[in-house]
Amino acid sequence: KAGVTQTPRYLIKTRGQQVTLSCSPISGHRSVSWYQQTPGQGLQFLFEYFSETQRNKGNFPGRFSGRQFSNSRSEMNVSTLELGDSALYLCASSLSRGNNEQFFGPGTRLTVL
């Protein structure tokens, strides 16, 4: 069974631009969560989607948004990029909601210049 895939794997943008990252969960998984990882703040929860609805949101500004499609694939968007948005963005999928094992993708490394 294919794992969680994220595209692109690497991305370089400049301040003020916007970016869209994509995540394809494991087949059959309906829940997708997004995390940001930086050396200073570690792994931080961004948001969670289930059945095309955002179910939970972390403490990030409104520039960070996401959505989930009917096939459970998810995208996250960051508008008006800032230098501090440079990070590894990780997507995780799970079968459903609750105390389930989460499967993480390899991440998208975003660099903002």
Partner 1 sequence: DAKTTQPNSMESNEEEPVHLPCNHSTISGTDYIHWYRQLPSQGPEYVIHGLTSNVNNRMASLAIAEDRKSSTLILHRATLRDAAVYYCILRGVTQGGSEKLVFGKGTKLTVNP
Binding site for partner 1 (CB under 8 A): 4, 31, 33, 35, 42-45, 48, 50, 55-56, 58, 90, 92, 94, 96-107
Nearer to partner 1 (CB atom), residue 18 or residue 56: 56
CB of 63 to partner 1, least distance (A): 20
* Residue 102 token pair: 């989460």
* Residue 47 token pair: 């948001």
Nearer to partner 1 (CB atom), residue 8 or residue 106: 106
- The sign of the dihedral angle between the CA atoms of 93, 95, 97, 99 is negative
Nearer to partner 1 (CB atom), residue 2 or residue 101: 101
* Residue 74 token pair: 């998810």
Nearer to partner 1 (CB atom), residue 66 or residue 105: 105
CB of 16 to partner 1, least distance (A): 28
30 closest CA partner among 49, 46, 47, 45 = 49
CB of 29 to partner 1, least distance (A): 10
CB of 62 to partner 1, least distance (A): 19
DSSP state letter for 99 = S
- Give 33's contacts (C-beta < 8 A, 6+ positions apart): 45, 46, 47, 48, 49, 56, 91, 92, 93, 94, 102
